[in-house]
Chain A
Amino acid sequence: MSDGPAIDVRGLTKIFSGRTVVDNVDLKIPEGQICGFLGPNGSGKTTTLRLICGLLIPDGGEGEVLGLDLLRDRHRIKEQIGYMTQKFGLFGDLTIRENLEFIARVYGLDRRGERVDAALERLGLETRSDQLAGKLSGGWKQRLALAACVLHEPRILLLDEPTAGVDPQARREFWDQIHQLAREGMTVLVSTHYMDEAERCHEIAYIAYGVMLVRGTADEVVAQSGLHALSGEGKGADRLAAEIEGLPGVEMAVPFGTTLHVCGTDPDKLRAAVEPWKERFRWREAEPTLEDVFIHMMRNAHDNSVIERP
């Protein structure tokens, strides 16, 4: 339809009883892109998703979703969005088939039987279609929920922590499917806490305390952070974490098995800090991880917000 971005919102703001949960958030996602939405718990990710799919009315801001006005065309936007809630939102006391048929009817789809059959086949659930949805395991529930979300072939998919509590293999399959859908032109905005998932996104948006802090590809985000890292290897290196973390120039010291990963914003201070253990362990330059970057940003954001509020 339109050549513009699938999602383009500006200055999105939502206030719940005096507390600004989403603060002036801009978000622009081109069609066919997968955008990873990250941030600590309670940072406003779910609220932002709800604002975009019309479940909440923003208190400020404007924008277009698929070229439709976010404020005026809520109902038309709903028809073209698939939203997968954090909690399993299908009916546990309906069978798998009944759930899908319900969704098909609600969206007024033609060839209902065909579509539901196709979805069941894709899921590999044809033989269990008469089983109650509530009886499914976590991984299957998640797959069913995704199937229900995309049944009406939405142009935008909003996923709210879709893989929480799902085993690695199911997660891998889930992400393969997301990429397949994106190739077909679907725009995906997915919130997650998993760094490996963030790295599978075309773009990352990091939000903390309602404020969007950074956007870009995973590499860009790491480069922009200005963080430097060292890793020390040797027997007992991991035990040093607590000792080193307090030192000037060391922002984080994280043990990984027998190695210790330290990072800070000033490379010289960082090197000076590990000087006393130069002989005992082998130190080398390392890449800061996305996790380092996010924890670093979260700490700073928190400081800011504390100062801002009198």
Chain B
Amino acid sequence: MYERIKAMIFKEMHQVSRDRGTLAMMFLMPVIQLLIFGYAINNDPRHLPLAVEANDNSAFTRTIVSALRNTTYFEVEEIVRSPGQGERLIEEGKVQFVVTIPPDFSRDLVRGQRPQLLVTADATDPSATGNAISAIGEAVNSGLRHDLIGPLGQGPPQSAPVDIVIHRNYNPEGITAYNIVPGVLAIILSMSMVLVTSLAVTREVEQGTMENLLATPLRPFEVMVGKIVPYFIIGIVQMFVALAAAALLFHVPFTGPILLMVLSTLIFIAVSLALGFTISTMADNQLQAMYVSVFYMIPSILLSGFAFPFRGMPLWAQWLAEILPMTHFLRLVRGIMLKGWNLSLALPEMGVLLLMLLVLTVVAVRRYQDTIA
């Protein structure tokens, strides 16, 4: 029995060692991914972009800014002075927090009247903002208490000098489903689209039907379109199922135009299919194609901002994530569904996806030749 098992083991080892591509991936990919994710992922994101809207031009603004900075949770990107400007920065996704200092802030503060300090957070991803929000109150109050000594320290010493009011925009109750459901839509789509098409060409080559196809007048572009269209239709069905579930089961608010949502999703489906087809033309066999697809999915889930806060990652990892179609689609989905983006706000992200589609299509058509070997 041992001899027979040994025979099997050696046979299997020899076969694995013959498939250099797969072998390389099995050893290299885990190392690469381990390094990337190990250093990139951070559940307690710090240095989040914040803007201060100072409607009251006073010395306390500086105290507040430096108190925020000292928490290391925030990076004060901008100090704006006109009302409503902070709100716009959040909508466009340039900053995640805005601290609004009301007009009579310093007067009220000195009088000990506990003025309000408004903190607006982009709560589309509740997990990314939770810790930071809880750090604000303590930091600002202790910073100001320091300033309010001597003649200015009139209020009762134990109480907080300001009243922090927190607005969680786009997802006021911090419902996780609002963030997860649009993300799951993106994952379902890219999972099925990339995986299925990545096997499309390699399967025909392995089964021996490719030679037959190539001997007919079919051109590469025709084969590609013909292979992709059926899966495009499947992707559309998946999209409507996922959107219906989001609306009916999870009551995710659709604040933006639904047509824009559908359009973005169609583009994303097309990008995923083109990517799958490109993988298909490069892989030697179905096993390799599967491997590449899976190794594409893992960073798509971990780095795109779906599973972990995008802004929690170091800058190099954020740049890396910009290459992933999922990152851009996720921004679009959250932007349109939760933030009510219109076409002009969505256009930059859609443009990136369209560019990816163009590049992938050119690569795939070039790689797929109508001759064998």
| Interface residues, chain A, with chain B CB atoms under 8 Å away | 16, 50, 53-57, 75, 78-79, 81, 83, 85, 87-92, 103, 106-108
Which chain B residues lie closer than 8 Å to A89 at the CB level? Answer: 208-209, 211-212
Interface 1/0 per residue, B252-266 and A, CB below 8 Å: 000000000000000
The distance in angstroms between the C-alpha atoms of A265 and B218, with both chains bound, is 51
Least distance between A42 CB and chain B CB atoms (Å)? 15
Q: Pick the residue among B215, B217, B218 that contacts A55 (CB under 8 A).
A: B215
Which residues of B are interface residues toward A (Cβ below 8 A)?
Answer: 207-209, 211-212, 214-219, 371-373
Are A107 and B214 CB-contacts (below 8 A) given A50-B372, A87-B208, A88-B208? no
Report the number of A-B residue pairs with Cβ-Cβ less than 8 Å: 45
Establish whether residues B371 and A106, one from each chain, have CB atoms under 8 Å apart when the complex forms. Answer: no
What residues of A have a CB within 8 angstroms of the CB of B215 in the complex?
A: 53-55, 78, 81, 83, 85
Q: A16-B373, A57-B371 are in contact. Are A106 and B217 (CB under 8 A)?
A: yes
Contact between chains at B216 and A78 (CB < 8 Å): yes
Please name the residue on chain B nearest to A50 by beta carbon.
B372
| Contact (Cβ within 8 A) B208 A106 | no
Q: Closest chain B residue to A103 by CB distance?
A: B216
Nearest first, the 3 closest Cβ-Cβ pairs linking A and B are: A89-B212, A87-B208, A83-B215
With A56-B373, A78-B217 already in contact, 10 other A-B pairs whose C-beta atoms are closer than 8 Å: A50-B372, A53-B215, A54-B371, A55-B215, A88-B208, A89-B211, A89-B212, A106-B216, A106-B217, A107-B217
A180 to chain B, nearest CB (A): 23
Q: Within the complex, which residue of B212, B217, B218 is in contact with A85, where a contact is CB–CB below 8 Å?
A: B212
- In the complex, what's the smallest C-beta–C-beta distance from A179 to chain B, in angstroms? 23
Residues in B neighbouring A108, C-beta threshold 8 A? 217
Q: With CB as the reference atom, state the residue of chain B lying closest to A148.
A: B212
In the assembled complex, the CB of B217 is this many whole angstroms from the nearest CB of chain A, namely 5
**From A75, which residue of chain B is reached at the shortest CB distance?**
B217
B214, B217, B373, most chain A CB atoms within 10 A: B217
Contact A55 B216 (CB under 8 A): no
B14 → A minimal CB distance (Å): 23
Q: What separation, in Å, do the CA atoms of A50 and B209 have in the docked complex?
A: 15
Point out the residue from A79, A85, A91 that lies within 8 Å of B211, measured CB to CB: A85
Within the complex, the shortest CB–CB distance from B202 to chain A, in Å, comes to: 15
CB distance from A300 to the nearest CB of B (A): 30
Kindly provide the distance from the CB of A18 to the nearest chain B CB, expressed in whole angstroms: 14
User: Could you say which residues of chain B place their CB within 8 Å of the CB of A106?
Assistant: 216-218
Instruction: Please name all residues of chain A whose beta carbon is closer than 8 Å to the beta carbon of B217 when the two chains form the complex.
Output: 75, 78-79, 106-108
Known: A85-B211, A88-B208, A91-B209. A107 touches B216 (CB 8 A): yes
Inter-chain contacts of A81 with B (CB < 8 A)? 215
Could you tell me the distance in whole angstroms from the C-beta of B132 to the nearest C-beta in chain A?
54
In the complex, are the beta carbons of B211 and A90 less than 8 A apart? no
Shortest distance from the beta carbon of A93 to any chain B beta carbon, whole Å: 9
CB distance from A102 to the nearest CB of B (A): 9
Which residues of chain B are near A55, meaning CB under 8 Å? 211, 214-215, 371-372
Distance between B211 CB and nearest chain A CB, rounded to angstroms: 5
CB of A132, distance to nearest CB on chain B (Å): 14
Nearest CB of A to B256, in Å: 42
A-B contact pairs, 19 of them (CB 8 A): A53-B215, A55-B211, A55-B215, A55-B372, A56-B371, A56-B372, A75-B219, A78-B216, A79-B217, A81-B215, A83-B212, A83-B215, A87-B211, A89-B212, A90-B212, A91-B209, A92-B207, A106-B217, A108-B217
CA distance A282 to B212 in the complex (A): 53
- For the complex formed, measure the closest distance between the CB of B90 and the CB atoms of chain A, giving whole angstroms: 53
Residues of B within 8 A of A16 (CB): 373
List chain B residues, Cβ under 8 A from A88.
208
Instruction: Determine whether the beta carbon of B216 is less than 8 Å from that of A90.
Output: no
Nearest residue in A to B369 (C-beta to C-beta)?
Answer: A57
CB distance from A116 to the nearest CB of B (A): 16
B330 to chain A, nearest CB (A): 36
- Specify which chain B residues have a CB less than 8 angstroms from the CB of A75 in the assembled complex: 217, 219
CA of A89 to CA of B373, assembled, Å: 17
Q: How far is the CA of A87 from the CA of B207 in the complex (A)?
A: 9
A92 — which chain B residues lie within 8 A by C-beta? 207
**Residues in B neighbouring A54, C-beta threshold 8 A:** 215, 371
Chain A residue nearest to B211 in the complex (CB): A85
A109 to B219, CA, bound (A): 17
Of chain A, the residue at the smallest CB distance from B210 is A89
Docked complex Cα distance between A54 and B369 (Å): 12
CA distance A56 to B211 in the complex (A): 11
Closest to A91 in B: B209
Bound CA–CA A53/B373 (angstroms): 15
Nearest to B372 among chain A residues (CB) is: A55
| A residues less than 8 Å from B216 (CB atoms) | 78, 103, 106-107
Q: CA separation between A88 and B210, bound complex, in Å?
A: 11
The CA-CA distance from A108 to B216 in the complex, in Å, is 11
B369: shortest Cβ distance to chain A, in Å?
10
Shortest Cβ distance from B158 into chain A, in angstroms?
A: 77
Q: How far is the CB of A65 from chain B (nearest CB, A)?
A: 13
B208 nearest CB neighbor, chain A only: A87
Give B219's nearest chain A residue, CB to CB. A75
Q: How far is the CA of A192 from the CA of B216 in the complex (A)?
A: 23
A89 to B219, CA, bound (A): 18
Neighbouring A residues of B219 by C-beta, 8 Å: 75
- Residues in B with CB closer than 8 Å to A53 are 215
Cα A91 to Cα B213 with chains together (Å): 10
Min CB gap B279→A, angstroms: 22
What's the least CB distance linking B203 to chain A, in Å?
11
Chain B residues lying within 8 Å of A85, measured Cβ to Cβ, are: 208, 211-212, 215
CB proximity of B320 to chain A, nearest CB, Å: 36
Task: For the complex formed, measure the closest distance between the CB of A104 and the CB atoms of chain B, giving whole angstroms.
Answer: 11
Nearest A residue to B207, CB-CB:
A92
Once A78-B216, A107-B217 are accepted as A-B contacts, the answer to whether A90 and B373 lie under 8 Å apart by CB is no
Shortest beta-carbon distance from B213 to chain A in Å? 8
Q: How far is the CA of A87 from the CA of B188 in the complex (A)?
A: 37
Q: For the complex, what is the distance from the CA of A57 to the CA of B211, rounded to whole Å? A: 14
The CA of A83 and the CA of B208, in the complex, are separated in Å by 13
Which chain B residue has the least Cβ–Cβ distance from A14? B373
